[in-house]
A and B are shown apart, each in its own frame.
Chain A
Amino acid sequence: MLQPFWVDLHIHTVLSPCGELEMGAPDITAKAREAGIDIIGIADHNTCENYPAIAVAAAGNPVVFPCIETQSAEDIHVLCVFPDYDTALGYKDWLWKKIRPIKNDTEHFGYQVVIDAENNIIKEEDILLIQGAGYEVDQIVAETQRLGGLAILAHVDRPAFSYTAVLGPMPKDYPADAFELSCRLNSDHAAEWRERYRGRTFIRSSDSHTLSDISRENCTKMMLEEPSFKEIKMAIQGKNGRRIPWPWG
């Protein structure tokens, strides 16, 4: 039987230089539970190494998926959602063949730390994560899908780091699985996007960098049988009755 699940696939952790230090493992999972969110995606920039910490801290509530907010050569952000950590790591290996060895400057960008489920620091990532990899957006979408992941164009309404900001409107047949709209978009503007790209699947995500961003209002309700990757994929593709109600009420 289909039930509503609240899904936020775009949450940053302390591994993102722009993520606040409060974005630790028990903190994110506790906030997601408190907010009544069933499924979260841990989506740091160009990496996924804090997924295990959050997944252990969550212990199944909420359900956690490894995601990578990939930055393309054109500075377009793609939210890549993977069914499991091994697949995400396989994708990361491919991605990091074309990440330049630019060192992070903690003074200007902040810290990038990999943690465990109790927020103990395991290592500090010294390569700057907020940089464009040497792959074009089309290659990133194709590789994500080849590995069985979902490629979602991130915050397409934003004036920076979005497909539209760099390359203009998305082609009608663009092979991305879905488009993400920023949670702060008002319902009138969101409706304009739906009208402009009829037939496309839209999701709403928090793109959380602080705990206070995590809330039901900032995520997407999905009608699923269970909180699994397979079900999310069917909902995004509108298959077998799974569906995503319009996230702006």
Chain B
Amino acid sequence: MTIGELCKTLNAEVEAPGNINREISKATVGDLLSFVMGTAPEGAVWITIQAHLNVAAVAVLKDLPMIIIASGRKPPHDLVERCLKENICVASVKDTIYGTCIKLASLGFGE
């Protein structure tokens, strides 16, 4: 599905839209930036509770077009600004990381 469709399906609050027409089918999870930097597959949606500016840097590096900030956390202003600039979607959801993963799995997302 596209990033735009995924945002709607998850009831996500979109802070930066990114490339809403880009197709996305893989997901990765992690709050340690170094771990994600080392393990995330390119093109995946990244679910995390880590809301720090450097999240955008890791997303750029690994070509992750979408970041979901879980558990109702809100991305800080500088992270949103950077995502707008880099054309990365950043959205926050009320669900936990686990809850978000359940939804993504039911939508057919893989690793």
Contact = CB atoms under 8 A, between A and B. Distances in A.
Contact of B61 (A71, A74, A75, A105): A105
Report whether over half of chain B's contact residues are helix, strand or loop; otherwise say mixed: helix
B60 A75 contact: no
Contacts of A166: 32
Report whether over half of chain A's contact residues are helix, strand or loop; otherwise say mixed: loop
A46 to B, nearest CB: 11
Given A75-B33, A132-B32, A160 B52 contact: yes
B37 interface: yes
Interface in B60-86: 60-61, 86
Contacts of A105: 60-61
Interface of A: 71, 73-75, 100, 102, 105, 108-109, 128, 130-132, 159-160, 166
B34 interface: yes
Given A100-B38, A160-B52, A132 B57 contact: no
Nearest to A132: B34
Closest 3 pairs (CB-CB, A-B): A132-B34, A160-B52, A108-B60
Contact of B33 (A108, A109, A132): A132
A31 to B, nearest CB: 26
Contact of B32 (A74, A102, A128, A130): A74
A131 B57 CA distance: 11
Contacts of B60: 105, 108
A71 B57 contact: no
A130 B53 CA distance: 13
Nearest to A73: B34
